[in-house]
Amino acid sequence: MSNDKEVVVVGSVNADLVVGVDRRPGPGETVLGSDLAVHPGGKGANQAVAAARLGGRVGILGRTGDDGNGELLRASLAGAGVDLAHLLVTPGPNGVALITVGPDGDNSIIVSPGANARLTPADVEAARAMIAGAAVVTFQLEVPLETVLAAARVAADAGGRVVLNLSPPAPVPDELLRLCDPLVVNEHEAAFLLPGHDADEDPAALASALLARGPRSVVITLGGDGALVADASGSSAVPSPKVEAVDTTGAGDAFTAALCLRLARGDALADAARYAARVGAASVRAAGAQSSYPSADDELPA
């Protein structure tokens, strides 16, 4: 069992191309920005690096391109200690995220999937042993949905815990929602799944409505306000430490990674979320996604 992974991530590997702006341009408008910075990113790779930096035994199933960006991303994952046995290389461009960061630290993102779009259920089958051996398998929606569903079935059939971060938001089958323990969403992603609801509703009401869709548990992330966790036994609020945000890019991925690692180690959901909120808060204090993630030895904000 010692060689099995605590967390396996099935997801995207992107190069983040980041420009700081004083304000975002409107339609037809040009604004000047900062120098272009290139950071390793992608929701899948971010979660893998964050969990590994926190000391987890982590593997990833994903695809990079055969360009220079792919080499950068493999180096970042390897440097964090992530198992790359199932990080596959696809001819063509790597996935890329075009990110603008405003003066308040908030970001706007456009993703070009590249190699991520070519991750298939056949790749899942080839990685079956790694997925089936994991305590927790976590997913996002920057790779094809059929691949996510295939891997979630493998994980659930083996007794692993399935965590889905519904980002970017997209329709998902009820079968996948029923496997989630938890489903991780922000307010906007929650509202996306709930026609007739909106993101400004009470988070506890949103969580209750989400549970009715089938997941075993739900975590609604609330940015600087922390999170709300809910399952059949009820809901509870999880506060976030107050920090000065420099760049929020990848903060949700840091939260989800920390949550998954603590769940893999047996924490109750609310306890795992409290730890995850501290890790997420730590990650916004520096620029970039993976480069901002704390290590197991770093002191987290209280």
Question: Which amino acid, 252?
Answer: G
Per annotation, catalytic residue among 83, 181, 231, 253: 253
* DSSP code string of 88-136: EEESSPPEEEEEEE-TTS-EEEEEE-GGGGG--HHHHHHTHHHHHT-SE
pLDDT in the model for residue 286: 86
Known binder of ligand: residue 198?
Answer: no
Longest distance between any two alpha carbons in the chain, whole Å = 57
Known binder of ligand: residue 214?
Answer: no
Known binder of ligand: residue 174?
Answer: no
* Higher pLDDT, residue 59 or 250: 59
Question: pLDDT, tens digit, for every residue of 174-188?
Answer: 999 999 999 999 999
Cα–Cα nearest to 107, from 98, 120, 94: 98
* pLDDT at 245 exceeding the cut of 90: no
> What 8-state DSSP symbol labels residue 245?
-
Q: How far is CA 9 from CA 28, 162, 283, 286, in A?
A: 39, 10, 19, 24
Bridge partners, residue 183, by sequence: 164, 218
Q: What is the mean pLDDT of the chain?
A: 94
Query: In whole angstroms, what is the distance from residue 35 CA to residue 29 CA?
Result: 19
* pLDDT at 164 exceeding the cut of 90: yes
Q: What percent of the chain has pLDDT over 90?
A: 83
Query: In whole angstroms, what is the distance from residue 191 CA to residue 189 CA?
Result: 5
* pLDDT at 62 exceeding the cut of 80: yes
Average confidence (pLDDT) over 93-104: 91
pLDDT in the model for residue 2: 47
Tokens of 127: 């990685």
Q: Is 8 helix (H, G, I), strand (E, B) or coil?
A: strand
Select from 1.10.3720.10, 3.40.640.10, 3.30.70.1140, 3.40.1190.20 the CATH code of 7-13+42-94+116-292: 3.40.1190.20
List helix spans (H) across 138-244.
145-157, 174-179, 187-193, 203-211
Known binder of ligand: residue 226?
Answer: yes
Cα–Cα nearest to 94, from 131, 45, 145, 127: 45
Reported confidence tier of residue 246, pLDDT bands at 50, 70, 90 = confident
Cα–Cα nearest to 44, from 181, 149, 138: 138
Bridge partners, residue 218, by sequence: 183, 230
pLDDT in the model for residue 250: 84
Reported confidence tier of residue 64, pLDDT bands at 50, 70, 90 = very high
Average confidence (pLDDT) over 77-85: 97
- Are 76 and 52 in contact by the 8 Å Cβ rule? The answer is no
3-state helix, strand, coil in the chain (%, to 5): 35, 25, 40
Reported confidence tier of residue 119, pLDDT bands at 50, 70, 90 = very high
Reported confidence tier of residue 288, pLDDT bands at 50, 70, 90 = confident
- Are 11 and 111 in contact by the 8 Å Cβ rule? The answer is no
- Are 89 and 98 in contact by the 8 Å Cβ rule? The answer is no
Average confidence (pLDDT) over 87-116: 91
* pLDDT at 163 exceeding the cut of 50: yes
Q: How far is CA 127 from CA 14, 113, 150, 203, 285, in A?
A: 20, 21, 11, 37, 35
pLDDT in the model for residue 19: 94
Known binder of ligand: residue 288?
Answer: yes
How do 161-165 and 14-20 pair as beta strands? unpaired
223-227, 244-248, 274-278, 282-286: segment of lowest average pLDDT:
244-248
> What 8-state DSSP symbol labels residue 149?
H
* pLDDT at 108 exceeding the cut of 90: no
pLDDT in the model for residue 80: 96
pLDDT in the model for residue 218: 98
Known binder of ligand: residue 138?
Answer: no
Known binder of ligand: residue 79?
Answer: no
* Higher pLDDT, residue 302 or 248: 302
* pLDDT at 211 exceeding the cut of 80: yes
253 is an active site residue: yes
Cα three-residue angle 99-105-111, rounded to 5 degrees: 20
Average confidence (pLDDT) over 285-291: 83
Contacting residues for 296 by C-beta, under 8 A, at least 6 apart: 53, 54, 55
- Are 95 and 43 in contact by the 8 Å Cβ rule? The answer is no
State pTM to two decimals: 0.92
Question: Which amino acid, 73?
Answer: L
Query: In whole angstroms, what is the distance from residue 156 CA to residue 153 CA?
Result: 5
Known binder of ligand: residue 167?
Answer: no
Question: pLDDT, tens digit, for every residue of 65-75?
Answer: 999 899 999 99
